[in-house]
């Protein structure tokens, strides 16, 4: 059996696109189509099995969705991770922001906040992004008759939007996250209608513990996770389980992550999410050991794990043999049909991200594919 490969979603923007962002120049639809053609072609040529648009049309993995929802007319502060809060000397190295969080407590970042009843108003914008991706994919797929790639498309979970966008309107958190679920249900169903696999990004299930909810106990945080899972499952009610995956994340920012909640603490709640495929971090230094908990905790038989076997915060390129070794650890416990090799997180969770350059990211993805092939030979 040949092990499949994928990644989490965001890919470094092409150099020309990155330059235009830095110079605040317009990226036209014609530019975007050229960039999409290149990035989809590269994924297919590498041999990745489940690919996407690299999130190229977006500034980050949440803001585009929030822009498709009315009601965010106030402002709030971005969360500060507890690890950086505890390390002021280290946090001073940063200018203040990495995506949707604050890295320097002395340089707070403002984000939209909910100040009115929410409503989904962005169908046209969403369909445009989907159609550009699908058109580029179908055009390029014909040039690779031996490949059988699939498409996925990402969207944030209700809890993730609630994690970053402060509530100043609804009476409590539970009402807010349920309302977000009702609104995002429309986005999820539009994505699914295009025949692509939906990926729901869920840093709220893990990163939320040491950011927005760092003042809670673990048990109290699990109550929040339970509310988030309930809202997400309700929003996914009409999405086929085998066409949906979730990504669980502790944050792809350059922190120490010593305050991360352990996977075993959130394990049972995470695997209550009503999808077939679950992506987790499992190669960075803080979470690489956690594959062993699968000897104690059982993943439901109807679920497939997509472990991260490539670190997306380091510029070191994993040797294919190491990738194979990591994959085989999971295969031994779950069987090859329940493992898909992936990355820990996205490579560019913001359009301006440069912590891992494009040339390095593509070499890492090449190592992922080669490692999966090596592992397949040993099954």
CATH number at residue 50: 3.20.20.210
Among 42, 43, 275, which Cα is nearest to 155's?
275
Residue 151 domain-assigned (yes or no)? yes
Instruction: Output the pTM of the full model.
Output: 0.96
Give 313-346 pLDDT, tens digit per residue: 999 999 999 999 999 999 999 999 999 999 999 9
In the sheet that holds 50-51, the strands lie side by side as 50-51, 150-156, 197-202, 244-248, 277-280, 304-307
Q: How many CB atoms lie within 10 A of CB 17?
A: 20
| Mean of per-residue pLDDT scores for the chain | 94
Residue 100 domain-assigned (yes or no)? no
C-alpha triplet 48, 41, 7: angle, nearest 5°: 30
The CA distances from residue 76 to 168, 178, 216, 303, in Å, are 9, 20, 20, 37
Return averaged pLDDT per consecutive 10 residues of the chain, 379 residues in all. Answer: 95 83 83 93 96 91 94 96 95 76 89 98 97 95 87 98 98 98 98 98 98 98 98 98 97 94 98 98 96 95 98 95 98 97 88 74 97 97
Residue 325 domain-assigned (yes or no)? yes
Alpha carbon distance 138, 151 (integer Å)? 10
**Per-residue model confidence (pLDDT) at position 18:** 77
CB 260 within 8 A of CB 206: yes
Residue 358 domain-assigned (yes or no)? yes
Longest dimension (CA), the chain: 56
Q: Given the DSSP bridges, would you call strands 150-156 and 197-202 parallel, antiparallel or unpaired?
A: parallel
CB 365 within 8 A of CB 51: no
Among 158, 129, 140, 159, which Cα is nearest to 59's?
129
Buried b (16+ CB within 10 A) or exposed e, 48-75: bbbbbbbbbbbebbbbbbbebbebbeee
Q: Any bridge partners for residue 342, and if so which?
A: 308
Among 46, 60, 63, 167, which Cα is nearest to 118's?
167
Residue 226 domain-assigned (yes or no)? yes
Please provide residue 302's backbone torsions phi and psi, each rounded to the nearest 5 degrees: -90, 10
DSSP reduced 3-state for 111: strand
**Per-residue model confidence (pLDDT) at position 98:** 56
Task: Label residue 142 exposed, middle or buried (CB < 10 Å: 0-12, 13-18, 19+).
Answer: exposed
Alpha carbon distance 56, 322 (integer Å)? 30
Give 171-224 pLDDT, tens digit per residue: 999 999 999 999 999 999 999 999 999 999 999 999 999 999 999 999 999 999
Residue 259 domain-assigned (yes or no)? yes
DSSP reduced 3-state for 204: helix
Alpha carbon distance 306, 29 (integer Å)? 33
CB 10 within 8 A of CB 348: yes
**Per-residue model confidence (pLDDT) at position 99:** 67
Residue 348 domain-assigned (yes or no)? yes
In Å, how far from its chain's centre is CA 337?
Answer: 23
**Per-residue model confidence (pLDDT) at position 175:** 98
Give 243-259 pLDDT, tens digit per residue: 999 999 999 999 999 99
**Per-residue model confidence (pLDDT) at position 352:** 63
**What is the residue range of 175's domain?**
4-61+120-377
Give the total number of structural domains in the chain.
1
Residue 135 domain-assigned (yes or no)? yes
């Amino acid at each position: 059996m040949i092990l499949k490969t994928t990644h989490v979603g965001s890919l470094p923007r092409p150099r020309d696109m990155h330059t235009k962002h830095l110079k605040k120049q317009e990226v036209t639809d014609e530019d975007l189509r050229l960039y999409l053609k290149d990035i989809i072609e590269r994924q297919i040529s590498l041999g990745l099995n489940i690919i996407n648009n690299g999130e190229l049309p977006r500034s980050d993995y949440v803001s585009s969705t929030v822009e498709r929802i009315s009601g965010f007319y106030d402002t709030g502060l971005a969360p500060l991770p507890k690890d950086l809060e505890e390390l002021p000397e280290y946090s001073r190295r940063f200018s203040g922001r990495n995506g949707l969080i604050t890295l320097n407590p002395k340089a707070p970042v403002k984000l939209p906040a909910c100040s009115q009843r929410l409503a989904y108003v962005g169908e046209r914008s969403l369909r445009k992004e989907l159609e550009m991706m699908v058109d580029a994919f179908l055009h390029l797929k014909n040039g690779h008759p031996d490949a059988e790639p699939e498409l996925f498309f990402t969207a944030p979970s209700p809890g993730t939007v609630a994690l970053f966008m402060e509530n100043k309107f609804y009476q409590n958190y539970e009402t807010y996250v349920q309302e977000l679920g009702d609104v995002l249900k429309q986005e999820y169903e539009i994505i699914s209608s295009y025949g692509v696999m939906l990926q729901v990004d869920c840093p709220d299930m893990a990163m939320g513990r040491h950011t927005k909810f760092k003042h809670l106990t673990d048990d109290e945080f699990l109550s929040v996770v339970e509310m988030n899972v309930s809202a997400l499952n309700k929003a996914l009610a009409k999405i086929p389980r085998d066409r949906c995956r979730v990504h669980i994340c502790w944050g792809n920012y350059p922190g120490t992550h010593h305050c991360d909640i352990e996977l075993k603490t959130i394990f049972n709640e995470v695997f209550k999410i009503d999808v077939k495929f679950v992506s987790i971090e499992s190669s960075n230094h803080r979470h690489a050991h956690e594959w062993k908990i699968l000897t104690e905790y059982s993943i439901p038989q109807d679920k497939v794990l997509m472990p991260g076997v490539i670190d997306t915060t380091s510029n070191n390129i994993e040797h294919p043999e190491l990738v194979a070794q990591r994959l085989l650890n999971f295969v031994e416990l779950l069987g090859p049909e329940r493992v898909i090799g992936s990355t820990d997180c996205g490579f560019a969770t913001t359009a301006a991200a440069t912590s891992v350059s494009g040339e390095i990211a593509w070499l890492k993805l090449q190592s992922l594919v080669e490692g999966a092939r090596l592992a397949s030979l040993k099954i």
